[in-house]
Copies of this chain bind each other. A is one copy, B any other.
């Protein structure tokens, strides 16, 4: 029997590649999608399409309405910035959702402990951690320590590992890796502010980073940016 792993799967490019990497490493996949009231609920649909494409043991979609708290362009009534300069993108962006990865990882931990899984994958990467504090390796290390103190599993000598396979990869590296593992990026969704028909806007930070990644990887992005 393979080891079990919980994979945080948003339905975006990074988490989908992360899932493919966990599968390549031989884990049985328990995919976890968190519907936190983000503007781009299309992501949830993408996550469902992605798991159909992979050999996933179970997919859980957990609802938690962080919109009650507000505080981010992704969950509150703040405009998603478009066509920003690189320098503006080096600050913490308004699309930062307070404590999001801590909420996500804690829910993943709850499921993992219940399953008897000691491996959790999250697709954070270096491109993000200049902007988002909860994408830095030192944060992930600290969360793992907390997880091991928090749980019955940790107390009884098991150790939780938080895997961050994308951490040192550029967007182009991630896309190349995923393409080699058979990821269909046409199923993934990255845009913060998609058109009503689901097509990406092509102008938010997420679209800009994604397009640059595909360009540098010399792979065409299967999504339709013409609308």
- Residues of A bordering B, CB below 8 Å: 60, 62-66, 68-71, 92, 96-103, 105-107, 109-111, 113-115, 133-134, 136, 138-139, 142-143, 145-147, 149-152, 154-155
Contact = CB atoms under 8 A, between A and B. Distances in A.
A102 B106 contact: yes
Nearest to A107: B103
Contacts of A71: 113-114
Given A142-B142, A142-B145, A145-B142, A110 B66 contact: yes
Tally of this chain's copies: 2
Given A63-B63, A106-B99, A109-B99, A69 B114 contact: yes
B155 A149 contact: no
Main secondary structure of the interface of A (DSSP, over half): helix
A59 to B, nearest CB: 11
A139 B146 CA distance: 6
Given A60-B69, A71-B114, A103-B107, A98 B151 contact: yes
A105 B66 CA distance: 14
A136 B146 CA distance: 11
Contact of A113 (B99, B136, B146): B99
12 contacts: A64-B107, A69-B114, A70-B114, A92-B155, A98-B114, A99-B151, A102-B109, A102-B150, A133-B154, A139-B146, A142-B146, A143-B150
Contact of A151 (B105, B114, B134, B152): B134
Contacts of A70: 114
A68 B60 contact: yes
Given A60-B69, A68-B62, A142-B142, A150 B110 contact: no
A110 B103 contact: yes
Contacts of A62: 64-65, 68
Contacts of A103: 103, 106-107, 109-110
